[in-house]
Amino acid sequence: MRVMKFGGSSLRNAAALREVGRIVDEARQSEPVAVVVSAFAGVTDGLLEAADSALEDYGHTQEVFGGLHSRHLTTIEELIPATTRSRIMADIQVLFNNLEDVLHGVHLVRECSPSTRDLIVSFGERLSARITARWLSSLNLNAEFVDSRPLILTSERQGMTIVNIDESFRRLRKGLKPDSCVPVVTGFIASDAAGITTTLGRNGSDYSATLLGAALGASCVELWTDVDGIFSSDPNLIPSAKVIDHMTFEEAQEMAYFGAQIVHPQALQPAAERGIPVAIRNTFNSTHPGTMIAPNGSLPEQPVRGITTINDVALVNVEGSGMIGLLGVAGRLFSALAAKAVNVIMISQASSEHSICFVTRSCELTSAVEAVKEEFATELESRLIQRVEEVDNLAALSIIGTRMRGTIGLSGRFFGALGAQGVNVVAISQGSSERNISIVVSEQDAAKALRSVHTAFGLDGAGASHAEA
């Protein structure tokens, strides 16, 4: 069986849902299918806006609510024949009444806890899955709406929502019967042991899909979106960037960590663990094969598969002769950053131990420097640490590929290409997994650096998409 997940953009209007219907119908001819859906495009954001405004400006909440309501009704009217519309209209109305009650409750008590927010956003997927199921049924696909909340169990650990994998798999296997119908399952939402609605985090529907795929032993998990696949680099920056036809889980995860807006690394984990291929497909160009993420196997020769950049980053350099051989400096440094919720993107320390530098988003720079200065106040005063230097307006650039490991001369090519363009490298970091080398350059140099490296590794034009040839 196959899991097919459709993201919000694939469900943005009736025309998009018609494509979805065609795609599911075709897939169903060859094997059983389970469908997972996100909320319609923009609906999760709308629901959050409604929740936030309910605290102060209920008029605005009502406006947003009205927009969401009519949007769903219009989609139903455009999609489902009038003669068979009454039940879905009634179901949707119940949900909207319920949502209105919750929003009004928030307004009355002027309080919206994280659980209440989760409950409010859950309406997005509960609406879209119901409508999609009704639509697929009208195509004689024998679809059945499934609420994922009783099937995916989460718990709180150190302020994080985690999925209880074993119990969720048990419930999913028991609750879903893709052999006899097409389950249309709400992505993104789950519940805790007390039955309270929880969510798997923004864009969590991909994770729902791979959990389902892993639980049911799917042949493939398809993530349907509105782009052709994962590109060798951001096509907005590099027009010659091409869709990567096959890549490994590690490559996809590295690409996601380093800024490519594709699949959340966590979302790939259940599929990666069980070796279930994950395909990225375009709902609006469904004959395009997309990107297939699969375990290592037929790896292309090309060592570098993708290049990502993250803009608006800053670097902090902590330097001092007193740091040499001083135990616990790194531990204290990163604990202090974590305590201020600063996310570290890159770290580099030379073996002289004279300095440690790390890279964060520019918007976190002030907190980062504060954290360091507070933590090392004594060392700064006694001159064990001489400098906490900050450099803003930088960009991080990473080259990524499973075959980079052990490929000799790769760094030479990388830095050669940069040098030839006169790009100054501010910092370098390579993990010993050798699947990623990251550098930091000034923001002005970022586009030039990206272009020259993309070309140097043969990713332009036919290079990327026919890498296996």
Question: What is the token pair recorded at 271?
Answer: 């599929």
Stretch that binds ligand ASP, among 22-30, 50-58, 196-204, 280-288 (CB under 6 A): 196-204
Q: How many residues bind Mg ion (CB under 5 A)?
A: 3
Stretch that binds ligand ASP, among 167-175, 201-209, 238-246, 433-441 (CB under 6 A): 201-209
In angstroms, rounded to a whole number, what is the distance separating the alpha carbons of residues 460 and 442?
Answer: 23
Q: Which of 13, 138, 164, 203 binds ligand ASP (CB under 6 A)?
A: 203
User: Is residue 178 part of the contact set for ligand ASP (CB under 6 A)?
Assistant: no
Q: Please state the closest distance from residue 2 (CB atom) to ligand ASP, in A.
A: 19
The alpha carbon dihedral of 282, 214, 232, 426 has a sign of positive
Q: Are strands 355-361 and 344-349 parallel, antiparallel or unpaired?
A: antiparallel
Q: Please state the closest distance from residue 68 (CB atom) to ligand ASP, in A.
A: 13
Q: Please state the closest distance from residue 272 (CB atom) to ligand ASP, in A.
A: 18
Q: Interface residues for ligand ASP in 127-156 (CB under 6 A)? A: none
What does the CA dihedral 401, 433, 165, 47 come to, rounded to 10 degrees? -60
In angstroms, rounded to a whole number, what is the distance separating the alpha carbons of residues 130 and 137?
Answer: 11
User: Is residue 186 part of the contact set for ligand ASP (CB under 6 A)?
Assistant: no
What does the CA dihedral 36, 249, 256, 46 come to, rounded to 10 degrees? 0
User: Is residue 293 part of the contact set for ligand ASP (CB under 6 A)?
Assistant: no
Stretch that binds ligand ASP, among 50-58, 197-205, 220-228, 280-288 (CB under 6 A): 197-205
Residue nearest to Mg ion (CB): 8
User: Is residue 401 part of the contact set for Mg ion (CB under 5 A)?
Assistant: no
| Sheet of 2-6, strand order | 143-146, 182-186, 33-37, 2-6, 220-225, 278-282, 291-294, 246-248
Residue 229 interacts with, from ligand ASP, Mg ion, none (CB under 5-8 Å by kind): none
Interface mask (CB under 6 A) for ligand ASP, residues 399-438, using x and -?
Answer: ----------------------------------------
Q: Please state the closest distance from residue 204 (CB atom) to ligand ASP, in A.
A: 5
Stretch that binds Mg ion, among 8-16, 126-134, 282-290, 332-340 (CB under 5 A): 8-16
CB 442 within 8 A of CB 395: yes
Q: Interface residues for ligand ASP in 69-128 (CB under 6 A)? A: 124
Q: Which of 4, 34, 36, 39 binds ligand ASP (CB under 6 A)?
A: 39
Residue nearest to ligand ASP (CB): 205
Q: Which of 38, 137, 197, 436 binds ligand ASP (CB under 6 A)?
A: 38
Which lies closer to Mg ion via its Cβ, residue 38 or residue 197?
38
Which lies closer to Mg ion via its Cβ, residue 84 or residue 261?
261
User: Is residue 8 part of the contact set for Mg ion (CB under 5 A)?
Assistant: yes
User: Is residue 161 part of the contact set for ligand ASP (CB under 6 A)?
Assistant: no
Nearest partner of 34 among 394, 366, 276, 239, judged by Cα? 276
Q: Please state the closest distance from residue 385 (CB atom) to ligand ASP, in A.
A: 42
Q: Which of 9, 44, 191, 232 binds ligand ASP (CB under 6 A)?
A: 44
Q: Interface residues for ligand ASP in 205-234 (CB under 6 A)? A: 205
Q: Which of 22, 87, 202, 387 binds ligand ASP (CB under 6 A)?
A: 202
First-to-last C-alpha distance (Å) of the chain: 30
Q: Interface residues for Mg ion in 21-60 (CB under 5 A)? A: 38
Q: How many residues bind ligand ASP (CB under 6 A)?
A: 12
User: Is residue 360 part of the contact set for Mg ion (CB under 5 A)?
Assistant: no
Q: Which of 21, 32, 183, 187 binds ligand ASP (CB under 6 A)?
A: 187
| Sheet of 355-361, strand order | 344-349, 355-361, 306-319, 387-400, 436-442, 427-430
Q: Are strands 220-225 and 278-282 parallel, antiparallel or unpaired?
A: parallel
Residue 187 interacts with, from Mg ion, ligand ASP, none (CB under 5-8 Å by kind): ligand ASP
Residues near Mg ion (CB under 5 A): 7-8, 38
Residues near ligand ASP (CB under 6 A): 7-8, 38-39, 44, 124, 187-188, 202-205
